[in-house]
């Protein structure tokens, strides 16, 4: 595995994904065999945003591999509160830890951190942008239950606009299979059109619907999501969108007997507690799988580092302009204004920001 950082799932080759899948499946069967796999190694968990599953499962994963953990779960308790920028924080933590898992509210923060880190950076969520390790878990769970990631009918319901797990999952599935998708949301929380276009261009069938009832009986997989309160500008805007999609026993009765329900969690009100006892509810099994998948990922990323010379990615970008360039208010370049200009061309010839994927012109 040549991987240095994991910013986006699509940095993994199909072979690397297979390697993580197989290793995670073996860890699940024989966890005791791996209890010293990372002895002497240190994981830093830098969480600038709240988390229960991602942070604690990364920490548990490293402890179960025989390693140790350091980090913060609130930037107010670190020198970030004194004004230390991301570049300096990452440079410092690179001196202490062997591998870093970071969650940050700014889109593109993980890519920015990777430029300055001599240690592997794992994106544990960058704003509403990506959450690649949740995607590894989602795909591991689908494959364990359905034996495939292709030819499925998959419904995604809720906040498809702001849900980083939805964005990461669809990008990943788009590279590994062809499926039929039902996107179930209000118009305000619809999935970005460039993601829908990419799915259609790759031969997937995509339907946009506004109710669960329209597709419940067709689905092999239902991926429920929370309305992402923290991404709304006001309480009123959030309230107008919340409580509209609720999966309950009545709706489960419309579904196939072998449909599975996934949810990255946390849940608010979008799945009623009675559904937890339905054997098709997989969301707590997903959490358990998360531990094995993150153990496998840490092992693979540390393996890739063996014998590798430490060099910073920023050296490749030293001569690029440093001025602020992305108009998105949630892009990391808005606050970390020393970052170099990094762009790419979309298939229709537009210029997009490499940090957050917003179109620049």
User: Pick from 45, 51, 141, 162: which binds ligand CP (CB under 6 A)?
Assistant: 51
Q: Do 261 and 224 meet the contact criterion of CB atoms below 8 Å apart? A: yes
Residue 296 CA to residue 209 CA, distance in Å, equals 37
Pair 220, 256: CB distance under 8 Å = yes
Give the residue with the Cβ less far from ligand CP, 52 or 188.
52
134 counts as binding ligand CP under rule CB under 6 A: yes
Q: Determine the 3-state secondary structure of 267 from DSSP.
A: coil
Size of the site for ligand CP (CB under 6 A): 8
Q: What is the dihedral of CA 44, 46, 51, 53, to 10 degrees?
A: -20
Interface with ligand CP, residue 74, by CB under 6 A: no
Helix ranges, 95-192 (H):
109-116, 132-146, 164-176
170 sits near ligand CP (criterion: CB under 6 A): no
Taking the complex as a whole, the smallest distance from the CB of residue 64 to ligand CP amounts, in Å, to 18
Decide whether 151 or 266 has the Cβ nearer to ligand CP: 266
Q: CB–CB of 328/334 below 8 Å?
A: yes
The piece of 28-36, 215-223, 234-242, 263-271 that touches ligand CP (CB under 6 A) is 263-271
Stretch that binds ligand CP, among 13-21, 261-269, 272-280, 317-325 (CB under 6 A): 261-269
Stretches 15-23, 47-55, 238-246, 320-328: which one binds ligand CP (CB under 6 A)? 47-55
Radius of gyration, CA atoms only, the chain: 20
Backbone CA torsion sign across 233, 239, 245, 248: positive
The only residue of 53, 87, 178, 358 in contact with ligand CP, by rule CB under 6 A? 53
CB of residue 266 to ligand CP, shortest distance in Å: 6
Work out how close the CB of 269 gets to ligand CP at its nearest, in angstroms, rounded to a whole number: 17
Q: Cβ of residue 291: shortest distance to ligand CP, in angstroms?
A: 13
Binding status of residue 52 toward ligand CP by CB under 6 A: yes
The correct pick among 43, 252, 260, 265 for binding ligand CP (CB under 6 A) is: 265
Among 54, 104, 123, 179, binds ligand CP (CB under 6 A): 54
**Paired residues of 209 in beta bridges:** 184
Stretch that binds ligand CP, among 35-43, 258-266, 268-276, 342-350 (CB under 6 A): 258-266
Stretch that binds ligand CP, among 37-45, 144-152, 201-209, 259-267 (CB under 6 A): 259-267
Other Cβ atoms less than 10 A from the Cβ of 232: the count is 17
Q: Which two tokens stand for residue 185?
A: 């949301």
Identify the residue among 151, 203, 243, 266 touching ligand CP (CB under 6 A). 266
Task: Work out how close the CB of 164 gets to ligand CP at its nearest, in angstroms, rounded to a whole number.
Answer: 8
Q: 358: burial class by Cβ within 10 Å (0-12, 13-18, 19+)?
A: middle
Q: Is residue 285 within the footprint of ligand CP (CB under 6 A)?
A: no
Produce one character per residue of 268-301: b if its CB has 16 or more CB atoms within 10 Å, e if not: eebbeeebeebeebbbeebbebbbbbbbbbbbbb
Which pair of structure tokens corresponds to residue 77? 């308790």
Tell me which residues touch ligand CP (CB under 6 A).
Answer: 51-54, 134, 264-266
């Amino acid at each position: 595995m040549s991987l240095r950082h994991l910013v986006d799932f699509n940095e993994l080759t199909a072979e690397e994904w297979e390697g993580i899948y197989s290793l995670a499946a073996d860890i699940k069967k024989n966890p005791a065999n791996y209890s010293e796999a990372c002895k002497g190694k240190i994981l830093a968990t830098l969480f600038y945003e709240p988390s229960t599953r991602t942070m604690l499962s990364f920490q548990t994963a490293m402890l179960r591999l025989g390693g140790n953990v350091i980090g913060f779960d609130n930037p107010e308790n670190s020198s970030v509160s004194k004004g230390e920028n991301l570049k300096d924080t990452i440079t410092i933590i690179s001196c202490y830890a062997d591998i870093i898992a970071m969650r940050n509210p700014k889109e593109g923060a993980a890519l920015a951190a990777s430029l300055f880190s001599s240690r592997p950076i794992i994106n544990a969520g960058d704003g509403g942008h990506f959450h690649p390790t949740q995607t590894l878990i989602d795909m591991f769970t689908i494959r364990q239950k359905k034996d495939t990631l292709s030819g499925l009918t998959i419904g995604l319901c809720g906040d498809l606009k702001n849900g980083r797990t939805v964005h990461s999952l669809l990008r990943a599935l788009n590279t590994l299979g062809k499926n039929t998708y039902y996107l179930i949301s209000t118009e305000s929380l619809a999935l970005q059109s460039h993601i829908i276009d990419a799915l259609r261009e790759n031969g997937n069938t995509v339907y946009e619907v506004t109710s669960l009832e329209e597709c419940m009986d067709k689905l092999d997989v239902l991926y429920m999501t929370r309305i992402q309160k923290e991404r709304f500008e006001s309480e009123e805007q959030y309230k107008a969108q919340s409580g509209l999609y609720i999966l309950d026993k009545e709706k489960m009765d419309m579904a196939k007997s072998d449909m599975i329900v996934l949810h990255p969690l946390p849940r608010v009100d979008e799945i009623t507690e009675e559904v937890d006892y339905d054997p098709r509810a997989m969301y707590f099994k997903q959490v358990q799988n998360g531990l094995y998948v993150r153990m496998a990922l840490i092992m693979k990323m540390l393996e890739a580092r063996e014998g590798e010379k430490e060099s910073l990615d920023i050296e490749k970008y030293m001569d690029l302009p440093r001025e602020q360039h992305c108009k998105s208010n949630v892009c990391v370049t808005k606050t970390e204004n020393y970052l170099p200009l990094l762009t790419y061309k979309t298939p229709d010839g537009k210029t997009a920001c490499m940090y957050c994927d917003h179109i620049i012109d």
